[in-house]
């Protein structure tokens, strides 16, 4: 933009040597007006092509945006401070002496070789992180070499669950190992879960489409759901998630599969465990480099290149999915995930709630 201004000013300066007769004055003003139009055109062009648009400046204020500060360690530190502030009213903040639930212990995987604990958060790149930890152990030379059926087999992949250890072993690791977690916007995570498990269901996971979705449909679809072959729709999924009275019974019925929509608080007990680093899915490329370095395995593995913006929060998509959901059900859903929003610095989705 500075170059454009200098060029335009140079154009204006070229009129300074003209005489003051009437003919010259008319020519002077024509050149002046032409330069003024040129300057206006350059300003308009600059606004459209500038890589730092108004939208980008707004995004820089979102949690962990990589353009907000040069030193990514400062971003991570601010997240931790904000997280600690959100936990300050918790009775057991950072107290690893508390008794963690089996769900939490099941979701924390252990790399004893590198003294790392990682809490899985489905739909936030958790599978790839486990692959990186497997490669870091030396069992495979690259993530491409790891058989898919081995990634989640914690009896064989070298990453046991914390729940498989004795109480004293668990306490030792919680107090001494490097601990990290990856999160993403809670509502966008639910949309990803719905698409992955119900909309584009994998043949290898038939229970989501044929068991869980049928149970939710029969509970919340009016009329004669057993005569309707329409698959689970998003507003029914939201009703189930926000139904305080019925959800506990249905969750028991669905078993371990609920980890794909359980809250971060339920999955990882963040205020009790006190994770060293909180990574954000929206800025994963920068976070990954920082995490691998802090974990001491940056020389062994690296996170793949992530094209700019590919993991950016998609407000338009969120609005589209929630457009068919009642305000009552959205508010109920937010009540359940409210703590996830606040603890990890995600803004309240007022555009959906109000």
- For the chain, what is the mean pLDDT? 82
Q: Is the pLDDT of residue 316 over 80?
A: yes
> Does the pLDDT at position 257 exceed 80?
yes
What pLDDT was estimated at residue 6? Answer: 41
In this prediction, residue 214 has a pLDDT band, given cuts at 50, 70 and 90, of very high
Mean pLDDT calculated for residue range 164-175: 96
Residue 201 confidence class, pLDDT cut points 50, 70, 90:
confident
User: Can you give the pLDDT at residue 52?
Assistant: 27
Confidence at residue 310, expressed as pLDDT on a 0 to 100 scale: 78
pTM across the whole model: 0.77
Sheet holding 178-183, edge to edge: 108-111, 116-119, 178-183, 277-280
What average pLDDT score do residues 327-342 get? 97
Check residue 88 and give its pLDDT: 83
Helix and strand element counts for the chain (H, E):
19, 4
Tens digits of residue pLDDT in 260-305: 999 999 999 999 999 999 999 998 888 999 999 999 999 999 998 8
Exposure letters 189-213 (e unless 16+ CB within 10 A, then b): bbbbbbebbbbebeeeeeebbeebb
Element (H, E) at 181: strand 178-183
**Per-residue pLDDT at 69 exceeds 60:** no
The more confident residue out of 175 and 307 is 175
State mean pLDDT over 163-169.
95
Give the tokens for residue 261. Answer: 């929509």
Exposure class string for 172-188: b at 16+ Cβ within 10 A, else e: ebbeebbbbbbbbbbbb
pLDDT of residue 137 exceeding 90? yes
State percent of the chain over pLDDT 90.
56
- For the segment 319-346, the average pLDDT, to the nearest whole number, is 96
* pLDDT given at position 330: 98
**Model pLDDT, residue 266:** 95
Asked if 238 and 325 touch (Cβ cutoff 8 Å), the reply is yes
Tens digit of each residue's pLDDT (9 = 90 or more) over 9-51: 444 444 444 444 666 566 656 655 665 665 555 444 443 333 3
pLDDT at residue 16, rounded to an integer: 45
- Mean pLDDT over residues 104-114, rounded? 96
């Amino acid at each position: 933009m500075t170059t454009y201004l200098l060029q335009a000013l140079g154009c204006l300066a070229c009129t300074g040597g003209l005489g003051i007769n009437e003919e010259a004055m008319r020519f002077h003003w024509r050149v002046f007006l032409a330069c003024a139009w040129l300057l206006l055109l350059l300003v308009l062009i600059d606004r459209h092509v500038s890589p730092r648009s108004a939208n980008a400046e707004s995004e820089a204020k979102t949690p962990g945006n990589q353009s907000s500060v040069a030193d990514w360690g400062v971003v991570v530190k601010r997240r931790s401070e904000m997280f600690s502030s959100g936990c300050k009213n918790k009775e057991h903040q950072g107290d690893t002496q508390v008794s963690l639930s089996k769900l939490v212990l099941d979701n924390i995987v252990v790399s004893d070789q590198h003294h790392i604990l990682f809490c899985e958060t489905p739909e936030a790149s958790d599978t790839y992180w486990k692959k990186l930890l497997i490669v870091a152990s030396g069992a495979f030379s690259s993530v491409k070499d790891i058989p898919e059926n081995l990634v989640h087999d914690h009896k064989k992949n070298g990453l046991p669950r914390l729940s498989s250890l004795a109480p004293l072993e668990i306490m030792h690791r919680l107090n001494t190992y490097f601990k990290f977690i990856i999160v993403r916007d809670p509502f966008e995570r639910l949309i990803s879960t719905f698409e992955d498990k119900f909309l584009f269901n994998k043949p290898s996971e038939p229970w989501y489409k044929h068991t869980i979705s049928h149970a939710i449909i029969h509970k919340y679809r009016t009329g004669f759901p057993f005569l309707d072959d329409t698959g689970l729709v998003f507003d029914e999924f939201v009703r189930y998630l926000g139904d305080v009275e019925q959800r506990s019974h249905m969750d028991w019925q669905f078993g371990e599969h609920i980890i794909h929509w359980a809250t971060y608080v339920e999955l990882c007990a963040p205020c009790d465990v006190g994770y060293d680093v909180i990574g954000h899915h929206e800025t994963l490329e920068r976070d990954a480099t920082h995490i691998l370095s802090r974990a001491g395995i940056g020389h062994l593995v690296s996170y793949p290149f992530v094209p700019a913006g590919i993991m950016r929060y998609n407000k338009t998509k969120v609005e589209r999915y929630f457009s068919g959901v009642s305000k009552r059900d959205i508010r109920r859903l937010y009540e359940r995930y409210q703590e996830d929003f606040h603890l990890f610095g995600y803004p309240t989705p007022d555009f959906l709630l109000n």
